[in-house]
Structure 1
Amino acid sequence: MNMDLTQRIQHYYKSMSKGQKIIAEYILTHYDKAAFMTASKLGHTVGVSESTVVRFALILGYEGYPKLQRALQELIRNKLTTVQRMELSEGMESSNILESVLKKDMNNIRMSIEELDKKAFQDVVESIFEAKNVYILGLRSSSVLAQFLGYYLNYALDNIKVVTSGVSDIFDQMARIGPKDLLICISFPRYATRALEGLKFAKQNEAQTVAITDSQLSPLKEHADICLTAHSDMASYVDSLVAPLSLLNALVVAVANRKKGDLTSHFSNLEAIWNQYGVYMGKDYTLDE
């Protein structure tokens, strides 16, 4: 069924029971809260049983409540303000924060693995090697991801250009992008408007485009030749970048494996420079007393 959650609710509303209609009305009115409720909590909130909530998911065509919940999260995730994110995390007990956040990050990686598109990943690696110049665009919280990817790719390649907020506007930094170039645009909810504009700009200039984002529903996908996804479900106002960072790690390793011989020689030269100028602490380093 090629309909989003609100369309499904509207389509099946007349055939719903009284209790299911109550759930539907609550979701449409309070989607920002319902998206992160368990079936039990949603049922308790609207005054119906947990089984009624499960049957509500089934009547909409979902395999179960978790699938409905995921659809609702995908539908509204970019509409959540920072204040709403904070409100959603208020129920998290302080004593369980560490364990809860680590488990959420682990789940993000697990879900990213399950939805991994290996062909798309290999296509991105090939595109990096075929490009005249590789532009890496990331803004706001995604700027750290762009900097990370650019930092490590720079060791293997000499055509990497990181585009992010700074003295120059992103369009100044991308002014020369063209048909033989590649733009890797990284953006996760809440998606930066300027990042999407940069992606469109690259596309208009006939550059190849890659989107690294959270799902196939991301607004970046429409303007990308290749789309790689990694889950980034948030905890509080903090964007979870663990799975995205792991995906970028994999890209770096794939590129490094292809450049292994050159990198070995390059790092041998770098080690001599680092030792000469004391870039890293040596084995004989001691703290002054």
Structure 2
Amino acid sequence: MNEASGASARLTRLFEGHRLTPTQRRIAHCLVRRADEAAFLSSVELAELAGVSQPSVTRFAVALGFDGYPGLRRWLREGLRAAPGPGQAAGAGRHPYQRAVLAEIEHLRQLAAALAEPAGTAGIEEAGRLLAATRPLPVLGLRAAAAEARGFAYFAAKVHPDVRLLDEGGSALADRIDAAAEAGAGALLCFSLPRHPRETAEALDVARRAGLRVVVVADSAWTPVARPGDLLLTAPVGTALSFDTACAPMLLGRVLLEAMCDAVPGAQGRLERFDVRAAERGIFLD
């Protein structure tokens, strides 16, 4: 684990177990994404980066059990002193591309460890049952998360009779969510990755008002789009390259898809019938 990854993991452990407000989750997310420089940010700088007020940063630190932001920053700096030096850090001397791949491997290890815990598998199984039971199944993912939503919807449609992909924003998005609810939907699946679009949060508010149970696949437990009562599943994104990498969230989506397939009556029969039709039509080359 490199120094930034180690700092991110330490911050994640700090935030776990605290019920943070949406504003506080926004600050927490900003700290994790900037874990390598978090210990050197002033409260004003952190507030500007997170898009919140400076008093909100102070209240955030107090909510975590510190006497104020200076106490949180001291804690962050103590972590730096305890971290291995540059020559000892895992990946030191490697090419930046290789370090990015190694960081993603570490994220997958974290996901595997989470799925080894009973609470981790229980959340996946509960979400799978919710998605299997809802008719129709709306799948939401905007901007950076659109690819994850499209991939899930593509495969889910092979076993679920009514999947509705919501991967474009705009004023019609709320209409499509309301239409799904009126058609009988009981749940909505949302993929949300940094930077989290405002439209995603607004769309989820529409879904909640319509009575839908929201399942969110996101990059952290303090994602700004989730609310109490949502079923939140998390896997970290990589930040070592110019654009985030989402191997762990993508794999988490596939694990959730497997749980949904396990809960859909007759799923295996639908898959077999698709294979027969695909062979008859010559859809695939292999």
Aligned to 1:65: 80
Does residue 175 (structure 1) correspond to residue 174 (structure 2)? The answer is no
Q: SS at 1:232's partner residue? A: coil
User: Which has the higher relative contact order, 1 or 2, with Cα contacts under 8 A spaced 6 or more apart?
Assistant: 2
Aligned to 1:101: 100
Aligned to 2:127: 124
Q: Give the alignment partner of residue 266 of structure 2, picking from 262, 268, 273.
A: 262
Q: How far 1:279 moved relative to its partner?
A: 1.1
User: 1:278 and 1:198, CA in 2 relative to 1: closer, same or farther beyond 3 A?
Assistant: same
- Give the AA of the match of 2:176: Q
Contact 1:156 1:255 in 2 (8 A): no
Q: Give the alignment partner of residue 190 of structure 1, picking from 185, 195, 203.
A: 195
Please give the alpha-carbon distance, in whole angstroms, between the structure 1 residues aligned to 2:114 and 2:78: 17
Contact 1:57 1:63 in 2 (8 A): no
Contact 2:128 2:261 in 1 (8 A): no
Contact 2:189 2:216 in 1 (8 A): yes
Aligned to 1:74: none
Aligned to 2:141: 138
Q: How far 1:97 moved relative to its partner?
A: 3.4
Q: SS at 1:185's partner residue? A: strand
Q: How far 1:163 moved relative to its partner?
A: 0.6
Please give the alpha-carbon distance, in whole angstroms, between the structure 2 residues aligned to 1:29 and 1:239: 26
User: 1:137 and 1:94, CA in 2 relative to 1: closer, same or farther beyond 3 A?
Assistant: farther
Contact 2:39 2:77 in 1 (8 A): no
Please give the alpha-carbon distance, in whole angstroms, between the structure 2 residues aligned to 1:244 and 1:58: 30
Please give the alpha-carbon distance, in whole angstroms, between the structure 2 residues aligned to 1:61 and 1:96: 27
RMSD: 3.8
Aligned to 1:277: 281
| Identical amino acids, percent of aligned pairs | 17
Please give the alpha-carbon distance, in whole angstroms, between the structure 1 residues aligned to 2:72 and 2:169: 46
TM-score scaled by length of structure 2: 0.64
User: 1:123 and 1:269, CA in 2 relative to 1: closer, same or farther beyond 3 A?
Assistant: closer
Which of the two has higher C-alpha Rg? 1
- Give the AA of the match of 1:152: F
* Count, aligned residues: 220
- Give the AA of the match of 1:254: A
Contact 1:180 1:208 in 2 (8 A): no
Name structure 1 gaps, 5 residues minimum: 8-22, 33-55, 69-91, 283-289
Contact 1:57 1:65 in 2 (8 A): no
Aligned to 1:53: none
Aligned to 1:39: none
TM-score scaled by length of structure 1: 0.64
Please give the alpha-carbon distance, in whole angstroms, between the structure 2 residues aligned to 1:161 and 1:212: 17
Deviations 1:173-217 (A, max 9, x none): 212243752111111111011111110100011111111111121
Please give the alpha-carbon distance, in whole angstroms, between the structure 2 residues aligned to 1:61 and 1:233: 21
Contact 1:182 1:208 in 2 (8 A): yes
Please give the alpha-carbon distance, in whole angstroms, between the structure 2 residues aligned to 1:60 and 1:137: 38
Does residue 200 (structure 1) correspond to residue 199 (structure 2)? The answer is no
Q: SS at 2:178's partner residue? A: coil
Contact 1:57 1:64 in 2 (8 A): no
- Give the AA of the match of 2:239: M
User: 1:234 and 1:58, CA in 2 relative to 1: closer, same or farther beyond 3 A?
Assistant: closer
Contact 1:136 1:184 in 2 (8 A): yes
Contact 1:134 1:159 in 2 (8 A): yes
Q: How far 1:220 moved relative to its partner?
A: 1.7
Q: SS at 1:221's partner residue? A: coil
Please give the alpha-carbon distance, in whole angstroms, between the structure 2 residues aligned to 1:103 and 1:25: 26
Contact 2:142 2:169 in 1 (8 A): no
Q: Give the alignment partner of residue 213 of structure 1, picking from 202, 213, 218.
A: 218
Q: SS at 1:206's partner residue? A: coil
User: 1:269 and 1:60, CA in 2 relative to 1: closer, same or farther beyond 3 A?
Assistant: closer
Please give the alpha-carbon distance, in whole angstroms, between the structure 2 residues aligned to 1:66 and 1:133: 53
- Residues 7-156 of structure 1 mapped to structure 2, 5 A cutoff: 26-28=41-43, 59-60=74-75, 64-65=79-80, 96-116=95-115, 117-156=120-159
Please give the alpha-carbon distance, in whole angstroms, between the structure 1 residues aligned to 2:82 and 2:227: 24
Please give the alpha-carbon distance, in whole angstroms, between the structure 1 residues aligned to 2:266 and 2:82: 47
